[in-house]
Amino acid sequence: MFKINKLVFIVLGFVTVAVLTSSCKSKERSRTTGWEFNNPETGGFEVADSKNQITGPGLVLIEGGTFTMGATEESPFYEWDNQPRKATVSSFYIDQTEVSNLAYREYVFWLHRVYGEDYPAVIQNALPDTLVWRDRLAYNEPLVQTYFRHPSYQYYPVVGVSWVQANDYASWRSDRVNENLLIEAGILDFDPDQRNENNFNSDAYLAGQYEGLVNEGKEDLDPSGTGIRNVRFEDGILLPKYRLPTEAEWEYAALGLIGNTLYNRVVERREYPWNGQSIRTDERKYYGSFVANFKRGNGDYMGVAGNLNDGASLPAPVGSYWPNDYGLYNMAGNVSEWVLDVYRPMSHQIVSDFNPYRGNVYKNVLKDMDGGIAEKDSLGRIRYEEITAEEAAQRKNYRKANNINYRDGDYQSTIQADWINEDVANSTNMMYEYGVTTLITDKARVVKGGSWNDPPYYLSPGIRRYLNEDEASATIGFRCAMIRVGSQTGGGQ
């Protein structure tokens, strides 16, 4: 009898705790005003459950930290553009592999379905430049027709994509991922008839300029509302935007020093994304095999028939070879990759030591005459404009919208600063004479990592090169990244 009563007591105890827990959850109150949240009878102020950011498709969480950013060996070209220095990078997400031809063809297909009838130029502007395969003294013409479209190459990294095109892809990917999250949450139904400006765009949806096919919608607890509303960013359903990684993020992720960290101390600095100076694996089963796709020397792209050393004369499929300690593939070799930064040779001496980056251009959402968000454009996108001088006049952390040239290319940093007028349209040319002494402009974007056509020196994550943002190459691809919001650790501690 005692055992039965004890059991009943325990069960009742659990029920009581459950009821109290449920009651507390339903009556969560403000710690500052005492008003109850998520209750139409008290105003309907909604507070989402605090939760960790979900990992978007294709991404890997990179736990941030402090590392030595910069060159790991002396440059044979005496380019002192990346001296070692300590920097801290916040946690972020990055693609496990480079963006493939298949992934990019999905993007082109969507553009054709939505814009193809009325805006064919949108598709043309997005297509990779397949002519990058041409070489005046080599027979590469078949690659012009086959590399991007043939099924045999669908899991190979997309190339011939400019920095501008890569950013457009990242924006499109953000919208498709968020649209799918809303569909999976039951908020929207899939709309196969999206055309022109009537397509899902995250910014337009949040601004109330896209409705879509509403399924269950989101319950509106505002007593003066309509009962159903659009999801807000505060609801925690939508993800931040996909984008290119910054140079610091890419280099940090490529080094993968988490594998060499012991008690808050990096015990061995790396020259490559792996330990040691050898570019071969010491795994018994694959002993002596190359761990990256690169060029061994003049005329040697893949070794000798019957014993190919890296098995790829051109780019290899994404996910080939061994991943680094973050689980990322091809952070050395295969294709070089675009990053966000504008190239300047002296950035290492000037940029911040926390999330270093050069390229900020601050913008606001374009407003209409009544102060509301202006109507989206003909492609369904919210419009932005650079902040005005008046808006930045009283700021202490910035004084203008475009900060690309700050302390390296603006009029104050030129050697002729004593006579140059501050209103000079492009003072970059005063310091970097494009086409005369340099190829650096405000459009020069940093390229990281070696490629299938590079010798071992370029496999080091610290090496930096550049190319104009509207140009493309057969050796350059890209991968996407995303900010990590909230907790910097995967466990949410």
Q: What is the pLDDT of the chain when averaged over all its residues?
A: 89
CATH 3.90.1580.10 is the classification of domain 59-185+231-359+442-483: yes
pLDDT confidence of residue 263: 84
pLDDT confidence of residue 427: 77
Dihedral of the alpha carbons of 126, 130, 132, 138, in degrees to the nearest 10: 180
- The two tokens of residue 406 are 């700050």
Give the pLDDT band (50/70/90) at residue 15: very low
Give the pLDDT band (50/70/90) at residue 262: confident
Residue 126 has pLDDT above 80, yes or no: yes
Which of 56-60, 269-273, 389-393 bottoms out in mean pLDDT, i.e. has the lowest? 269-273
pLDDT confidence of residue 370: 93
pLDDT confidence of residue 20: 42
pLDDT confidence of residue 212: 93
pLDDT confidence of residue 410: 85
328-340 burial: b if 16+ Cβ within 10 Å, else e: bbbbbbbbbbbbb
- How far apart (Å, rounded) are the C-alpha atoms in residues 159 and 164? 13
- The residue whose two tokens read 């013409």 is 141
Give the pLDDT band (50/70/90) at residue 420: low
pLDDT confidence of residue 303: 79
- How far apart (Å, rounded) are the C-alpha atoms in residues 246 and 167? 12
Residue 195 has pLDDT above 80, yes or no: yes
Residue 31 has pLDDT above 60, yes or no: yes
- The residue whose two tokens read 């054709």 is 112
Which of 25-29, 162-166, 445-449 bottoms out in mean pLDDT, i.e. has the lowest? 25-29
pLDDT confidence of residue 24: 41
Residue 309 has pLDDT above 60, yes or no: yes
- The two tokens of residue 306 are 């019957």
Residue 409 has pLDDT above 90, yes or no: no
- The two tokens of residue 33 are 């005003």
Residue 396 has pLDDT above 70, yes or no: yes
Q: What is the DSSP letter of 259?
A: G
pLDDT confidence of residue 296: 87
In a 10 Å sphere around its CB, with 0-12 CB exposed, 13-18 middle and 19+ buried, how is residue 154 labelled? middle
What percentage of the chain exceeds 90 in pLDDT? 71
Higher-scoring residue by pLDDT: 492, 395: 395
Residue 432 has pLDDT above 90, yes or no: no
Q: What is the DSSP letter of 457?
A: G
Residue 440 has pLDDT above 60, yes or no: yes
- Average pLDDT, stretch 277-305? 78
Query: Regarding beta strands 336-342 and 476-477, do their DSSP bridges make them parallel or antiparallel, or are they unpaired?
Result: parallel
Q: Which of 308, 327, 239 is nearest to 51 (CA)?
A: 239
- How far apart (Å, rounded) are the C-alpha atoms in residues 402 and 426? 11
DSSP per residue, 27-57: T-B-TTT-PBSS-GGGT----PPP-PPPPPT
Residue 27 has pLDDT above 90, yes or no: no
pLDDT confidence of residue 286: 65
Residue 85 has pLDDT above 90, yes or no: yes
Higher-scoring residue by pLDDT: 10, 442: 442
- How far apart (Å, rounded) are the C-alpha atoms in residues 310 and 313? 8
Residue 1 has pLDDT above 50, yes or no: no
pLDDT confidence of residue 295: 92
**Distance linking the first and last C-alpha atoms of the chain:** 45
Give the pLDDT band (50/70/90) at residue 160: very high
Residue 6 has pLDDT above 60, yes or no: no
Amino acid, single-letter form, for residue 235: D
Residue 64 has pLDDT above 90, yes or no: yes
User: Could you tell me what percentage of the chain is helix, strand and coil, using 3-state DSSP and rounding each to the nearest 5?
Assistant: 25, 15, 60
